């Protein structure tokens, strides 16, 4: 133990009994009245024990120390314990002393600083932090899974909606096409009807009237239904129907049909004679369904009259 401060050296010499009586009394008066001085002496006395244990005293100091502080077994045990304490302290702090000494603070990388925040002295806190981190990790994965599921569902819904929209558009387009066609057909029918009405309203030209007498039903003629030869310039074909019913009808309802059942012409007449425009009778088979209307207003079948129109 060399090169201490002058005062420290004096205190050590006092402890080892190497100062004069006068110096002793003066120092003792100081430590009896000043607590700091007394504490310094106690600390130095204890330090001497550790210095002796480490072999840090001079030979003279060791002899003085042994005479004064190594008298009893208890004293020897104290020194032995001091040696063991230092050895154990060196052993335990050998790996961590450099990190804990408040030496030069070197700049650390940001990720080291972040890692140091996660390094806690207390095992309990480390466990708690690890548990919290694990919880956050598990929660994060679950959240990601849920998000992926939801995204998948949204995608499916979007695809479904797109498909439905396309179908709707197709149906709409089809409906529009059909509607347009119906509009065209309606326009054409209206035009045709208009022409017919005009034609019918037009006074009949003093054209050639051709008359035929028709009997009801199919004739037993071997030639089949009556054949009406209609010239091309004929304006009206007058058909006189031979009604076999004995009932006296007030009036008649006549309907001209082709063999497909399509009604071509109909009229209410007062007698069983019909004037049918020749242009409505292109070559083909026809039937006139005649109904008689009684005085009471009831309709009764008055016969079906078949004929075949041919061009002359």
Residue 259 interacts with another protein (CB under 8 A): yes or no? no
Closer to another protein by Cβ: residue 89 or 135: 89
Residue 125 interacts with another protein (CB under 8 A): yes or no? no
Residue 262 interacts with another protein (CB under 8 A): yes or no? no
**Residue among 10, 13, 40, 225 that touches another protein (CB under 8 A):** 40
Buried b (16+ CB within 10 A) or exposed e, 29-40: eebeeeeebeee
Closer to another protein by Cβ: residue 97 or 280: 97
**Residue among 17, 139, 140, 217 that touches another protein (CB under 8 A):** 17
Instruction: Count the Cβ atoms, other than its own, within 10 Å of residue 225.
Output: 17
Closer to another protein by Cβ: residue 87 or 114: 87
Residue 136 interacts with another protein (CB under 8 A): yes or no? no
Residue 229 interacts with another protein (CB under 8 A): yes or no? no
Separation of alpha carbons 259 and 285, rounded Å: 6
Closer to another protein by Cβ: residue 18 or 170: 18
**Residue among 18, 20, 39, 153 that touches another protein (CB under 8 A):** 39
Residue 71 interacts with another protein (CB under 8 A): yes or no? yes
Residue 212 interacts with another protein (CB under 8 A): yes or no? no
Tokens, residue 242: 């031979």
Tokens, residue 47: 């330090």
Closer to another protein by Cβ: residue 115 or 174: 115
The residue among 191, 207, 229, 213 whose CA lies nearest residue 277 is 207
Closer to another protein by Cβ: residue 57 or 256: 57
Residue 4 interacts with another protein (CB under 8 A): yes or no? yes
Look-up of token digits 């558009």: 169
Separation of alpha carbons 237 and 212, rounded Å: 8
Task: Identify the DSSP state of 222.
Answer: T
Strand order in the sheet with 234-241: 208-214, 234-241, 273-277
Q: Are strands 226-230 and 208-214 parallel, antiparallel or unpaired?
A: unpaired
Distances in whole angstroms, Cα of residue 293 to Cα of each of 60, 241, 242, 243, 290: 165, 15, 16, 13, 10
Interface stretch with another protein, choices 68-76, 131-139, 166-174, 218-226 (CB under 8 A):
68-76
- Least Å distance between CB 102 and another protein? 6
Residue 42 interacts with another protein (CB under 8 A): yes or no? yes
Burial class (CB in 10 A: 0-12, 13-18, 19+), 118: exposed
Separation of alpha carbons 46 and 61, rounded Å: 14
Separation of alpha carbons 127 and 125, rounded Å: 5
Task: Identify the DSSP state of 217.
Answer: B
For another protein (CB under 8 A), the number of binding residues is 53
Closer to another protein by Cβ: residue 43 or 196: 43
Whether the Cβ atoms of residue 48 and residue 12 lie closer than 8 Å to each other: yes
Residue 186 interacts with another protein (CB under 8 A): yes or no? no
- x/- string (CB under 8 A) for another protein, residues 77-106? x--xxx-xxx-xxx-xx--xx--xxxx---
Residues of this chain that bind another protein (CB under 8 A): 2-5, 14-15, 17, 24-25, 28-29, 31-33, 36, 38-47, 50, 54, 56, 67-68, 70-73, 77, 80-82, 84-86, 88-90, 92-93, 96-97, 100-103, 121
């Amino acid at each position: 133990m060399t090169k201490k401060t002058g005062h420290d050296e004096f205190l050590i010499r006092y402890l080892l009994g190497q100062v004069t009586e006068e110096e002793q009394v003066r120092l003792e008066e100081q430590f009896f009245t000043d607590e700091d001085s007394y504490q310094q002496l106690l600390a130095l006395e204890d330090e001497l024990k550790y210095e002796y244990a480490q072999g840090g005293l001079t030979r003279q100091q060791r002899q003085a120390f042994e005479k004064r502080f190594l008298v009893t077994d208890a004293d020897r045990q104290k020194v032995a314990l001091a040696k063991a304490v230092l050895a154990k302290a060196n052993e335990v702090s050998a790996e961590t002393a450099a990190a804990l000494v408040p030496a030069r603070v070197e700049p650390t990388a940001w990720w080291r600083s972040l890692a140091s925040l996660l390094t806690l002295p207390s095992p309990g806190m480390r466990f708690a932090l690890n548990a919290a981190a694990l919880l956050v990790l598990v929660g994060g994965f679950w959240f990601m899974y849920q998000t992926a599921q939801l995204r998948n569902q949204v995608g499916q819904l979007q695809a479904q909606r797109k498909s439905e929209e396309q179908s709707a558009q197709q149906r709409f387009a089809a409906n529009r096409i059909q509607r347009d066609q119906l509009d065209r057909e309606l326009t054409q029918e209206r035009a045709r009807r208009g022409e017919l009405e005009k034609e019918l309203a037009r006074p009949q030209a003093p054209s050639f009237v051709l008359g035929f007498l028709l009997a009801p039903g199919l004739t037993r003629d071997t030639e089949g239904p009556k054949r009406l030869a209609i010239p091309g310039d004929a304006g009206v074909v007058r058909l006189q129907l031979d009604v076999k019913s004995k009932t006296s009808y007030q009036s008649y309802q006549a309907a001209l049909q082709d063999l497909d059942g399509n009604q071509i012409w109909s009229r209410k007449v007062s007698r069983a004679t019909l004037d049918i425009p020749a242009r409505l009778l292109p070559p083909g088979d026809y039937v006139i369904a005649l109904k008689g209307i009684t005085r009471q207003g009831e309709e009764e079948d008055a016969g079906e009259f078949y004929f075949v129109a041919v061009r002359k």
